[in-house]
Amino acid sequence: MHTQETKDKIRRTKIGYYKTHINPLLGTHRSKITKKKLSDFRKEYYKTHNHPLLGKHPSEETIRKISESNKGRVSSFRGKHHTKETKKKNAEAHKGKHCSDETKNKLRIKLSGENNPNWKGGIESIHHKVRTSNEYKRWRELIFQRDNYTCQLCNSRNGNIEAHHILSFMKYKQFRLDLRNGATLCKTCHKLLHKSYNFN
């Protein structure tokens, strides 16, 4: 095994060399046989050895550099899909594994608000707060009671019902909790009704 000093020397040499030379492996691909050999070797090796990066975390600067270097690159997996066999293997490998509460909390903080790729300036969070508020839940229950828990389009009472806003929830904020602006619909009719709005 190389010492850390030797590893650093090799790394610096490579960095300096490839500034003026083209990597001879650039554009080449390993054969399936070679990939299989490497895979088998790693599996056996890490049965008795720890991965050198185990327990280590890249610095913020390193993460930034990696992010910058990957900008504009198209993933080699783009357009491809895992086979059923691969999906099954992944499921088996992760069976029984769960993130700790600490990890879940870190992920939640890291992906909340402006850090989330789906962030839309706080619009979604406002709508979510309204729909999960006690006032909104009360409004929905009163709509169900008034309509006798029956879909107002197909008259079904299968229990799978939703409260529909006659005037758009998004556009008419002042009528969101108005009982006159609500109607009980089954999930199927509700979906079809909103679909028809998109076509009109």
pLDDT tens-digit map of 60-90: 888 888 888 888 777 777 888 889 999 999 8
How many CB atoms are closer than 10 A to CB 178?
13
Q: Please, which pLDDT band fits residue 123 given cuts at 50, 70 and 90?
A: low
- Say how far apart CA 120 and CA 11 lie, in whole Å: 42
The residue among 183 and 11 whose pLDDT is bigger is 183
Q: Please, which pLDDT band fits residue 199 given cuts at 50, 70 and 90?
A: very low
- The pLDDT, as a whole number, for residue 47 is 86
- The pLDDT, as a whole number, for residue 198 is 61
pLDDT at 43 over 90: no
The residue among 162 and 1 whose pLDDT is bigger is 162
- The pLDDT, as a whole number, for residue 9 is 79
Tens of pLDDT, residue by residue over 84-116, are 999 999 898 888 888 888 888 888 888 887 787
- The pLDDT, as a whole number, for residue 57 is 83
Q: Please, which pLDDT band fits residue 50 given cuts at 50, 70 and 90?
A: confident
- The pLDDT, as a whole number, for residue 153 is 92
Please give the average per-residue pLDDT across 158-179, as a whole number: 90
pLDDT at 200 over 50: no
pLDDT at 26 over 80: no
Count helices and strands in the chain by DSSP H and E runs: 8, 2
DSSP code, position 182: E
**Spatial contact of 186 and 154, defined as CB atoms under 8 Å apart:** yes
Extended strands (E) in 12-124: none
Terminal Cα-to-Cα distance of the chain (whole angstroms): 70
DSSP code, position 14: H
- Say how far apart CA 144 and CA 47 lie, in whole Å: 59
Which of 187, 132, 180, 196 lies closest to 161 in space, CA to CA?
Answer: 187
pLDDT at 1 over 70: no
The SS3 assignment for 198 reads: helix
